[in-house]
Structure 1
Amino acid sequence: MGTARVEKILIATHLDERDELLRRLQEEGILHISKFEEEKPEKKQPETVAPDAGEAELKQTLVGLNQAIGFLSGYAQKRKGGVFAGKPSLPAEEFRRRVDELDLPIKLKRVSQLSQAASRLETEERQLHAELETLTPWRPMKHPPCEYTNLKQTHARFVFVSSKEEKEAFVKSIKSLTANYETVRREGETEYAVILFPTNEEEAVEDTLKATGVKMIQLSGFAKPPAEEIKVRRKLLAKIGSDREKLTSQAREMSAELSGFQTALDLYGNEGLIREQHEKMLATEKAGLIEGWIRSSDRKRLKEIVAGFEASEVRSIKPRKGERVPVALRNPPWLKPFELILNMYGTPNGREADPTPLMAPFFALFFALCISDAGYGIVIAAVTAWLIWGRRIRNNLIWILFYGGVLTIFTGAAMGSWFGNMPDMLEIPWLVGFRDALTWFDPLKNPMPFFYISLGLGYFQMMFGMAVDVIDGIRTRDYGSALFETLPWFLIYLGIPLMIATSMSILPKILFTPLLIVVIASLAVSFVLSNRPGPTSVTSAILLWAVMTVAFLAAAKVFGLLALPGIILKALLIGTIAALWLYTVFKGLSEKTMRAAGVIFGVLGLAAIILYVAGVIQANLFLAAVFVLNLIFTFSVLKGWASRIVWGAYSIYSNTTGVLGIILSYVRLMALGMVTAGIAMAFNQIAWMLAGIPVVSVILMLVVLVIGHVYNLAISGLSGFVHTLRLQYVEYFPRFFAGGGARFEPFELKTRYVKVTRRI
């Protein structure tokens, strides 16, 4: 687990061997190719090799393959298994040989001809249907429409009138003209009509048509009476239908080549990826340089591959100063699917450990709690297991759902939910007894255990993330962040619950005082150093920490929380005041920042200390006043202390309220789990309400149960997955994971239709 060690390499190759070498490297998938950059950019670099003449041909072939696959997919027989069918496997050698035997140009040309013919038939059919729709209302017309438009002294307009009012308005408007309105067909209040008018009235008629909203229809292109035109078009449509049947038969025959086209698309697509790598190389007319990264464990394999080429050589090189080293994750097979979750968030930087193993158990468990139904867990586990081992579809998401489904069986059984309350509805004694034997608690009757579990898991994950941050900081020697920013709050968040446990007699009461002192000391550290606005000296930081610690201890003593002997607290208080006074005087004199008012407060404080030590003053309240006087004296000299205390107070406030929000966000685990059970029970109740319907009751019940539970499972699964993602990304990862690294992305085969196995 963690990240694999990577090293940088340089490959020199003759251009005659370049593409074949890249193909072998692509098959192995072990080399992360980076863009070549010279160490001395002021020197002239060799020019990148210009695109070869085959690049345009490759792009044209890819376009043709995509079009052919899109066309033939509508005619090919559906693969067994449909969308759940896995990719067929091909050895690397067979992958290329099968495409070479395909006679691709001729077959692509044939498919292109069929596709164009199909498009032409579709266009013609659409045009004929549109013309039929236009002509049908005019069937009663005895003369060809073109005869009306070829008259010398008279013009005609074919119109559609949508209402009686529209017709009356139009007829009224043309009374002053010699135009004639002749109805061809009437359908209710709508009419199809011909308007005949002298040539000199054309403008007036058209203005009237626009003013009244009467719609003109173009029929001038039809040379026969509408009834005959309709017959002609129906014959043409029948011929198109016959032609389409022939074309469909031919396309179905050609669909036998679909798998070959798909294989070719994968092959040529990867050839395109090889061409893209040319842009990352530096090359002369004869040779090229490939720069990249490999896992150290793959060094031997890379050398064996390169050794198979006569004019190629590989050697290890040192990274350039400041160069980002890609991060290669290394996890066992059962953990690798969860890298999908990590990759959607970010990549570890070079100093961080891989958080995948630290996140995977939480993700699977939280997903299971969001569903919390054993029946749904069985369905998820069974379906994903069938996809993985039956259909050999083994992508990362399906594996994650499989793990989540298995855990859902246990969480659902513990809460007594099997498709909601299905055992109770079925009233089968042994099934109810089996359910009850596995049930720990029923959240719908007693939700508090689920509430406590959700809060406890949230608290544990938060603390676990902080512990990882401390350990990782120490490992990377980032002591300041680990020990003075994260560790104090870790101790505070750990100490307060333990103090509560001691006050409730869950833990020995003798632990309360040590725990309180640890919490107070940690608060003081956070007060002084967290969110610090600027640099500070070690002496000043230590003294301010001592001041805040003693102040907090004194406050705890006043409120009766601290069982510390008074003499010890007084000694600490006097020692702190004396140290504070001496440090302030030293800084004030050395930096010349003394002010009259500050000096007065300082002298008063010093006098009070002397009187207290001499036994003249006994009151603790007066001692507290002395403490405050000396703080005023300090603030008058050390201006930065006031801002640090304000920042510290804000840090305590923000961290205290923030942790409550973080932990409470985990209560949604309970909410989603209970909603899933509640909706399942509702669908069960609805189904059983249909039991009294004669004959069809069983069928209706099954329909409601299947649709209802599938819907509930889909919604609950989606909600659970999204919320579990949110908990990792928003609440967990920010505790210890910064990200920002460059991902190790090996140059490998990327296929859509076939799975290529590596050479042995």
Structure 2
Amino acid sequence: MSIVALRRVSLIGSRGDKEAVLTALQTLGVLHLIALGAGGEPDSDTPSPGAPHKALLYLLGCPVKRHQVPDDAGFDRQTIVHQALENQRLSRDVEDSIEFVRRRLDDLKPWGDFEFPPLTELADHRLWFYEVPNYKRRQLAAVTLPWQEVHRDNRNSYIAVIARDEPPADAMPVPRTHTGSVPRPALRAELQSLNVRLDELAAEREALTRWIHRLHRDLARAEDAASLAQAQRITWDDDAVFAVQGWAPATVLPDIRALAEREGAVLLDEPVTPEAEPPTLLANDERTAGGEEVVRFYQMPGYRSWDPSRVIFFSFAVFFAMILADAGYALGLAAVLLLTAPRLARSRSGRRLRNMGFALVACSLAYGVASGSYFGWAPPPQSWLGRLKLFDVNDFGQMMQLSVAVGLAHLIIANAIVAWQHRRHSAALAPLGWIVALIAATLIYFEVPGGGLALALGLAAVAVFSDTRPIRRPLDLLWRAGGGLYGLTRSTKAFGDVLSYLRLFALGLATASLAVTFNRLAVEAATAVPEFGVLLFVLILVAGHALNFVLAVVSGVVHGLRLNVIEFYNWGISEEGYPFKPFVKTETGQWSN
């Protein structure tokens, strides 16, 4: 759990060797480029060609993929991309048509299968159709036009009227129903034709998937070429020499030095200066690097800050477990994770999230056993599972104290790490003051003697050391006093943030209460209807617990992350940075399904 130390690296070489040096740097893939030329800052995300990228994503989404063709002299990327996108467009059109025809068939079903006779057979009269609600059926007695009931269901009566012209709006109880001129047999034939066409398009798409690897490789080459062109624009150039500069991890300097010697370039290596703002590169153990994915998604800490990935990894697991609050649901989550684990293992980010998932399962199972809840059922107190129960989620006082204690611990950890980061500076005393103030407030709540004095000392440290600027003139003293008063305004925030952790108790109680409620409903339904008792019992249990499980997981993710990236971040991370983006080739080897 650390932020990698970086060095400012500059390579200076002959103008004629510029492309070779940049290509070698792109292959090495360890440098975050700094703009020196007129090209501006390097793009954070290299734009990918639109049509090839869309075609590749479309083919990757095909459920069945063909054997890949890695090399074929007859491959024409433009033709394959056009065929894939045209197949996508036609497939969508056919699917829309199928949906429309099915809807028309459903609309015409009450009217039955019929075809309109020629107008000459009806003396130029036409059929007009009306869906009359049954509660308005008595109004048909006042209709003077010839009409006939075609069909009736529990909601409507389907009436056909014969008239030369469309009847006036007030002639019938309801407006006219538009049935169209195409009969149901013709619609059924059209639907069959559309389904056949959709199958043909699916087969064409499947056949095109054999070019996925080639498209992937060509797209990667195009991205690499665009990235290289951007790098060439941001270098410093003279008539005879050029210079390229970037940030690189200190551990890869030997590799860069070897590249410079091989390409005949001069290497300049400089440390990070106080005024520099380098990117942030995180380094974490892969087993707990799932927290890094959360950090990257929310906010990257500054280079001179600290990496909260591991703390977030474990605290998120604890918060999620307290919200899920059921050992049975933890086993259900484990089953879902095992089913998706092979797919997650295909990428580095997926493997990290998989490891975090296992941590969530482990913590949730332990907390569920400790709370004595198994799909809402509590084991007998004398059983071995009952003896493992340590607390009751329905004990409001106990659970509120536990949630507040967890919140206090979380905020104390944040301030302790900040104090450690500033351990050689007086600024460390401000977060230490907050730690003392948080503990003192707890002592006051439990009426422990000395709590008031400790609170005063903690807040005094906050007031004095929140602003540590040097005092060189009287105005600096005034600014420091203002900074101290501003620091004290966080007292109300500290109180609110600690209480915010009560959501762990509230959501955990909601999960447990819903589980018990669904169990009770299942038993009552089975008792009330003995003939279908078993069926109702199973249906209510499955549907109820599935719904409660989904709600608990969503709440655990949303609120578990919220407590980390809002409450915890506000106390532990004060500097926002930007991610380290290496200048690297994206072209890979053989694509595999």
Residue in structure 1 matched with residue 435 of structure 2 by the alignment: 490
1:402 matched to which residue of 2? 358
Q: Distance in 2 between matches of 1:101 and 1:23?
A: 28
**2:504 corresponds to which of 650, 669, 673:** 669
**Are 2:367 and 1:411 aligned?**
yes
CA contact (8 A) 2:376 2:519 kept: yes
SS in 2 for 1:458: helix
Deviates more, 1:234-243 or 1:341-350: 234-243
Q: Which residue of 1 aligns with 2:140?
A: none
Change (3 A) 1:731 1:711: same
Deviation, structure 1 residue 329: 0.7
Q: Deviations over 1:365-421 (max 9, x none)?
A: 122112221222222234324433586353444432321220111111111112211
State the alpha-carbon separation in 1 of the partners of residues 588 and 32 from structure 2: 21
SS of the residue corresponding to residue 142 of structure 1 reads: helix
Q: Look up the match of 2:554.
A: 718
Deviation (angstroms), 1:681: 1.2
Please say which of residues 398-407 and 265-274 is displaced more in the overlay: 265-274
Following the alignment from structure 1 to structure 2, what is the Cα–Cα distance between the partners of residues 342 and 701? 44
Distance 1:273 1:333, change over 3 A: same
1:24 aligns with 2:44: no
Partner of 2:75: 103
Shift of 1:128: 10
> What residue is the counterpart of 1:685 in the other structure?
520
Identify the match of residue 141 of structure 1 among 106, 112, 119: 119
Determine whether 1:332 maps to 2:318: no
Of 308, 315, 318, 1:362 maps to: 315
Q: How big is the shift at 1:537?
A: 6.7
Partner of 1:315: 267
Correspondence 1:341 to 2:294: yes
Corresponding residue of 1:461: 410
Residues 551-603 of structure 1: per-residue CA shift (max 9 Å, x gap): xxxxxxxxxxxxxxxxxxxxxxxxxxxxxxxxxxxxxxxxxxxxxxxxxxxxx
CA pair 47-144 structure 1, distance change in 2 beyond 3 A: farther
| C-alpha displacement of 1:338 | 0.3
Shift in Å at residue 98 of structure 1? 1.8
Code of the aligned partner of 1:139: P
Structure 1's 659 and 536: CA in aligned 2 closer, same or farther, altered over 3 A?
farther
Q: Secondary structure at the match of 1:706?
A: helix
1:299 Cα deviation (Å)? 3.5
Using the alignment, how far apart are the partners of 2:201 and 2:491 within structure 1?
73
Is residue 350 from structure 1 mapped to residue 282 from structure 2 by the alignment?
no
751 and 373 in structure 1: CA distance in 2 versus 1, 3 angstrom threshold? farther
Moved more, 266-275 or 296-305: 296-305
Match of 1:596 in 2: none
Residue 315 of structure 1 aligns with an amino acid whose one-letter code is L
**Of the candidates 432, 440, 444, which is equivalent to residue 390 of structure 2?**
440
8 Å CA contact retained: 1:65, 1:261: no
Aligned counterpart, 1:582? none
What is the 5 A alignment of 1:231-310?
238=189, 241=192, 245=196, 248-249=199-200, 251-252=202-203, 255-258=206-209, 260-277=210-227, 278-282=229-233, 291-301=245-255
Structure 1 residue 281 displacement after superposition: 2.7
Find the counterpart in structure 2 of residue 708 from structure 1: 544
Q: CA deviation at 1:160?
A: 6.1
CA distance in 2, matches of 1:363, 1:333: 17
1:179-220 deviation digits (Å, cap 9, x = unpaired) = xx999x99846455359xxxxxxxxxxxx99xx9999x9x9x
User: Within 1, Cα distance between the matches of 2:455 and 2:326?
Assistant: 41
Higher alpha-carbon Rg? 1
**Cα separation, 2, equivalents of 1:279 and 1:291:** 13
Flag the 1:729–1:142 CA change in 2: closer, same or farther, 3 A: same
Distance change >3 Å, CA 160–CA 453, structure 1 → 2 = same
Give identity over the alignment, percent.
21
- Pick from 377, 380, 389 the counterpart of residue 421 of structure 1: 377
Secondary structure at the counterpart of residue 354 of structure 1: coil
- Residue 224 of structure 2 contacts residue 586 of structure 2 at CA under 8 Å; is this kept in 1? no
Cα distance per residue 1:216-258 (max 9 Å; x no partner): x9x9xxxxxx9xxx79x97898589568637735742651442
Of 489, 493, 505, which aligns to 1:658? 493
Distance 1:289 1:46, change over 3 A: farther
CA distance 1:388–1:536, shift in 2 (3 Å): same
Q: Hey, what's the Cα distance between the residues in 1 that align with 2:332 and 2:571?
A: 35
* Aligned counterparts of 1:707 and 1:129: Cα–Cα separation in 2: 29
Corresponding position: 1:740 with 2:545 = no
TM-score by length of 2: 0.72
Q: Deviations over 1:117-158 (max 9, x none)?
A: 76787899999999999x97742413899xx9xxxxxxxx99
Residues 654-663 or 321-330, more deviating? 654-663
> How many residues in Structure 1 have an aligned counterpart in Structure 2?
555
The Cα offsets for residues 435-483 of structure 1, whole Å up to 9 and x where unpaired, read as: 2121112232x333322222222222222222222222234x3x2x333
User: Counterpart of 2:420 in structure 1: which amino acid?
Assistant: I
- Spell out, residue by residue over 1:277-327, the C-alpha distance to the aligned partner (whole angstroms, 9 max, x if none): 1224327899986543332223345566788xx868583454798442011
CA distance in 2, matches of 1:100, 1:21: 28
Conserved? CA contact 1:22–1:274, under 8 Å: no
Change (3 A) 1:647 1:5: closer
Paired AA for residue 461 in structure 1: H
Matches of 1:466 and 1:340, distance apart in 2: 23
**1:677 counterpart letter in structure 2:** A
Aligned 1:201-216 pairs, distance under 5 A: none
Counterpart Cα distance in 2 of 1:720 and 1:128 = 43
5+ residue gaps, structure 1, are: 39-44, 49-54, 80-87, 89-94, 149-156, 165-180, 196-207, 220-225, 505-511, 542-639
- Superposition pairs of residues 52-131 of structure 1, within 5 angstroms: 59-66=50-57, 73=62, 76-77=63-64, 98=70, 103-105=75-77
> Retained in 2: the 8 A contact 1:32–1:744?
yes
Aligned 8 A contact 1:14 1:286 in 2: no
Matches within 5 A, 1:553-564: none
Equivalent residues in 2 for 1:618-657 (5 A)?
Answer: 654-657=489-492
Report the RMSD for the aligned CA atoms in angstroms.
5.7
Distance 1:751 1:714 in 2: 39
* Helix, strand or coil at the partner of 1:441: coil
TM-score, normalization: structure 1? 0.58
Range 268-277 or range 186-195, more displaced = 186-195
Alignment of 1:495-534 (within 5 A): 495=440, 497=442, 503=448, 512=450, 520-524=456-460, 526=462
Amino acid at match of 1:98: P
Please give the alpha-carbon distance, in whole angstroms, between the structure 1 residues aligned to 2:453 and 2:240: 74
